[in-house]
Amino acid sequence: MRRPITLYGLTFSLPLLLWQILFFVFPLVFLVALSFWTVKNFTMRPDFDVVNWTTMFSRGVFWQSYFTTLALAAAASVLTSVLAFPAAYAIAFKLSDTARRWAVFLMVIPFFTSYLVRIYSWQIFLSDNGIINVILGWIGLGPFQMLNTVGGTMIGYLTLSFPLVVLLQLFSLVFIDRTLIEAAHNMRCGRIRTVFEVIIPSGRTGLVIAGLFCFILSFGDFVSPVYLGGGEPTTLSILITDTTKSGQQWPRAAVIALTMIGTLLIVAFAAVKFAYKGKSK
């Protein structure tokens, strides 16, 4: 049923629309325009020049960080998904309703703690004289360098997305039709085989979306690669902050940002397509 547009309706629907157009769509569109501006004598001027694109794309260091970031984010999604799955599985199928509610509540808490503070806290664990190395020292091992390594960056990415991935996986597992699992058991399908042939395929949508979120978060994060990874190797996010904060090279930073958005769109599109493949509803 179509209702005429009324003042009443517009009062509620328009404010958010205007806000998001003014302060979300416009900034992103402006980013596109900005990427064609030129910088002369440290001042930006409106222009239509592809020089920023050609300079960035012809730099080896740009492509190097591009593929590094891509590889790190992909590794983080796989690692986080694999590590989160047994936990989500156990919470979904092995805990009582009350225990599950507590488990969900506890997994939500990290969202309301500062990510920066948690990363600093990991430095206390991972540094050369940190907690882990002291404990390893007691049994005569180490010290190992863990801070300023790729492993450190990965721990940061895990800190960032593990809770979210567990929750998303959990929600997809909870809604799996239990009779499917019982049917598999009745037909003497082993436990592991049930997981791989019944549970993972049925929960595929949620599992893939969870991995996608981990990819998006890790791809854009600059805190872990800097403060746990030591800034080496350079990721695109580090490249953006460096380009923006030092000097007036905003147009070049815009090129990096737009390349990231493009990449994320492709990855998200592919992931969603795969997640809903064969589910034509």
Partner 1 sequence: MSGSDDLNRSAAVNWALITYVVLAYAFVFAPIAASFVFSFNSDRFPSIPLGEFSLDWYRAVAQDPLVWEGARNTLVVGVVVGLVSTALGFGAAYTDYRYTFFGKQVYLALALLPPTIPVIILGLAMLAYLSRVNLSGNALSVIISHVVVCAPFAMAIIRLRLSQMDPALEPAAWNLGASEWKAMRHVIVPFTMPAILGALFITMAVSFDEFAVAWFVSGLNETLPVKVLGFLQGQVSPRINAIGSFVFILSMTLVILAQLLLSGRSAQTAEKE
Question: Which residues in the 30-69 window bind partner 1 by CB under 8 A?
Answer: 30-31, 34
Least Cβ distance, residue 34 to partner 1 (angstroms): 5
Phi then psi dihedrals of residue 242, to 5 deg = -60, -45
C-beta of 7 vs 278, nearer to partner 1: 7
Confirm or reject binding of residue 210 to partner 1 (CB under 8 A): no
Measured at the CA of 231, the angle between CA 226 and CA 234, to 5 degrees, comes to: 120
- Tell me how far CA of residue 212 lies from CA of 6, 12, 128, 266, in angstroms: 40, 33, 33, 11
Least Cβ distance, residue 61 to partner 1 (angstroms): 18
C-beta of 220 vs 278, nearer to partner 1: 220
Confirm or reject binding of residue 71 to partner 1 (CB under 8 A): no
Least Cβ distance, residue 76 to partner 1 (angstroms): 14
Residues 161 and 118: beta-carbon distance below 8 Å = no
Question: Which residues in the 143-172 window bind partner 1 by CB under 8 A?
Answer: 158-159, 162-163, 166
Residue located via tokens 């721990």: 155
One residue of 143, 151, 220, 230 binding partner 1 per CB under 8 A: 220
Listed in sequence order, the residues at least 6 apart from 234 whose beta carbon sits closer than 8 Å to its beta carbon are 61, 64, 65, 68, 225
Confirm or reject binding of residue 216 to partner 1 (CB under 8 A): yes
One residue of 147, 173, 176, 257 binding partner 1 per CB under 8 A: 257
C-beta of 117 vs 139, nearer to partner 1: 117
Confirm or reject binding of residue 135 to partner 1 (CB under 8 A): yes
C-beta of 178 vs 191, nearer to partner 1: 191
**Cα 14 to chain centroid, rounded:** 31
Handedness of CA 228, 230, 232, 234 (dihedral sign): positive
One residue of 38, 55, 121, 205 binding partner 1 per CB under 8 A: 121
| CB-based burial, 98-133: b 16+ in 10 Å, e otherwise | eebeebeeebeeeeeeeeeeebeebeeebbeebebb
CA 227 to CA 127: how far, in whole Å? 11
- Which one of the spans 88-96, 146-154, 174-182, 271-279 is the region binding partner 1 (CB under 8 A)? 88-96
